[in-house]
Chain A
């Protein structure tokens, strides 16, 4: 019988190494050992991803490594996630989110990392991609009954779209919390424009999302 600490360590390692096969194997071992799947996700897979995020901030790793790590994370998630949803606590079924980069913006690498962290945290995420028009966000949020709408913009020209969209979303989507992010944005702008939350990076985005949905 493998001990849980070792399995968690292997899950983290697999993500950090970007090794999909190792992630799959460690996830299967976690299941075999009867581990709490949510714990395996958060303290294993997500912990590894968090460490990669830290290394990125420090200039110790780069976007290709982050992307490959996220693929390994998804491989592990594919095994563990269904078990959590079935599990009695249902703790991980945290809500439904819609995400996209606003019209005029085709930068989507950061947005995709945010999407991944939200999925890890137990949200069902509908990704509208990039260059997304206001009405497409509204339609999708209504269709999937979104609890959370996440808007990404990387340019000073496109953050204006967020500013313009926000009052409309507030009026048309009263049951949906709105979180925004992207390099030119900050907490002050988010407050001024009436967003419910702001996240500086993907890890932060996940924390804020959970706070918004549980608060």
Chain B
């Protein structure tokens, strides 16, 4: 019987250094799910740093996957800039959502303050709490630094922002500028507190999807801010990034290529972008993806295993390295056996 010869930390370490690990590493992309498998309410993954960390560590140990804990959420921005959020406490809730955006009208844009003390803004006390646990355990410290348009959408309200992209582009630029200032301050704080070499900077790019905006709008409203934030983060000495390119973004890929990153960057893709395409566009970076989160929730284990195997077969020998991952956050109530199929696939088909 084949045995793993590396611990998860060694495996991820090898991958980051550009060496071949013993097998394809797995980051299942389960966040809320980790609380549920530990018998905790879903909200604990989002509202309690200690518990969130603990559940993520225990879930990783149980499943045998390689990604460490992190704190990030898709609707980030609204709360940090003074709006309200609700943690997922109700029956069908899956994630933290913004219930009141800080911007309600055009005038608000001009007066919107960039939070002075980032350590007190929105979810940052929780994120920092979890980061301190990561540091304590010698793990990479993750911080959310975007992506800027997704943050701006959460500050303005996505729908209002869609209209402004055409009718009031200058207002969107003002908010993007404020969001970028804030995210850079966050990166500066993390660098000071933890040291740049420990950090892994995370972008979750959802509102950038071509389901919503055009590649041209991406070029105008996203690219310059990504470049500004990442350049500054690189200047600070950060050497590792994690970028989740959510949903349909095939037409944006040529712009993503122009975002400054390091070789030690994980680019993760949804089902909509083929791994082969991603590999061609980002030969030097680590590619991650893209098992369909919906089949992980809805289908039978055999189907998940089959799709995970397919992903591995396509991307296993990618020059920059490959991580088996779901295409997006797996619905919290997904059957645990289905989640486990990703680890099983990596062990059976992902050996080097």
Query: Taking A63-B162, A104-B94, A105-B92 as contacts, is the C-beta distance between A156 and B298 under 8 angstroms?
Result: yes
Interface of chain A, main secondary structure: loop
Q: Let me know if B97 and A106 touch, CB within 8 A.
A: yes
A155 in contact (CB, < 8 A): yes
A195 in contact (CB, < 8 A): no
Q: Let me know if A157 and B92 touch, CB within 8 A.
A: yes
| Chain B residues near A184 (CB-CB < 8 A) | 294
Q: Let me know if A65 and B166 touch, CB within 8 A.
A: yes
| Chain A residues near B211 (CB-CB < 8 A) | 63
Stretch at the interface among B47-55, B212-220, B260-268: B212-220
Picked from A59, A109, A158, the residue with its CB within 8 Å of the CB of B92 is: A158
- The distance in angstroms between the C-alpha atoms of A106 and B251, with both chains bound, is 26
Q: Let me know if B331 and A156 touch, CB within 8 A.
A: yes
| Chain B residues near A68 (CB-CB < 8 A) | 163, 166-167
Q: Mark A74-110, 1 if CB is under 8 A from B, else 0.
A: 0000000000000000000000000000111110110
Q: Let me know if B165 and A64 touch, CB within 8 A.
A: yes
- Closest residue to B211 on the A side, CB-wise? A63
| Chain A residues near B294 (CB-CB < 8 A) | 156, 184
Q: Let me know if A109 and B162 touch, CB within 8 A.
A: yes
- The distance in angstroms between the C-alpha atoms of A108 and B213, with both chains bound, is 16
Interface size class of B (residues with CB under 8 A): 20 to 34
Picked from B90, B163, B297, B298, the residue with its CB within 8 Å of the CB of A104 is: B90
B148 in contact (CB, < 8 A): no
Q: Let me know if B213 and A64 touch, CB within 8 A.
A: yes
Interface residues of B in 277-317 (CB under 8 A from A): 293-294, 297-298
- The distance in angstroms between the C-alpha atoms of A103 and B90, with both chains bound, is 8
Picked from A62, A71, A108, A133, the residue with its CB within 8 Å of the CB of B212 is: A62
Q: Let me know if A131 and B158 touch, CB within 8 A.
A: no
Distance (Å) between the CB of B298 and the closest chain A CB? 6
Picked from A106, A131, A133, A157, the residue with its CB within 8 Å of the CB of B333 is: A157
Distance (Å) between the CB of B273 and the closest chain A CB? 15
Q: Let me know if B217 and A104 touch, CB within 8 A.
A: no
Q: Mark A39-80, 1 if CB is under 8 A from B, else 0.
A: 000000000000000000001011111011001000000000
Interface residues of A in 98-146 (CB under 8 A from B): 102-106, 108-109, 112, 131, 133
For A, the interface residue count at a CB cutoff of 8 angstroms equals 27
- The distance in angstroms between the C-alpha atoms of A112 and B159, with both chains bound, is 9
| Chain A residues near B320 (CB-CB < 8 A) | none
- Closest residue to B97 on the A side, CB-wise? A106
Q: Let me know if A104 and B165 touch, CB within 8 A.
A: no
Distance (Å) between the CB of A211 and the closest chain B CB? 28
A22 in contact (CB, < 8 A): no
Q: Let me know if A109 and B159 touch, CB within 8 A.
A: yes
Query: Taking A109-B158, A156-B294 as contacts, is the C-beta distance between A71 and B92 under 8 angstroms?
Result: no
| Chain B residues near A161 (CB-CB < 8 A) | 91-92
| Chain A residues near B88 (CB-CB < 8 A) | 104
A5 in contact (CB, < 8 A): no
A18 in contact (CB, < 8 A): yes
B332 in contact (CB, < 8 A): yes
Q: Let me know if A155 and B331 touch, CB within 8 A.
A: yes
Q: Let me know if A104 and B166 touch, CB within 8 A.
A: no
Q: Which of A64, A102, A104, A161 has the most CB of B within 10 A?
A: A64
| Chain B residues near A158 (CB-CB < 8 A) | 92, 94
Q: Let me know if A157 and B167 touch, CB within 8 A.
A: no
Distance (Å) between the CB of B132 and the closest chain A CB? 30
Q: Which of A67, A108, A133, A157 has the most CB of B within 10 A?
A: A157
Q: Let me know if B166 and A18 touch, CB within 8 A.
A: yes
A160 in contact (CB, < 8 A): yes
- The distance in angstroms between the C-alpha atoms of A133 and B86, with both chains bound, is 14
Query: Taking A68-B167, A184-B294 as contacts, is the C-beta distance between A63 and B212 under 8 angstroms?
Result: yes
Picked from B94, B99, B159, the residue with its CB within 8 Å of the CB of A67 is: B159
14 contacts between A and B (CB under 8 A): A62-B212, A63-B162, A64-B163, A68-B166, A68-B167, A102-B92, A103-B90, A103-B91, A105-B92, A155-B94, A155-B331, A156-B297, A156-B298, A157-B333
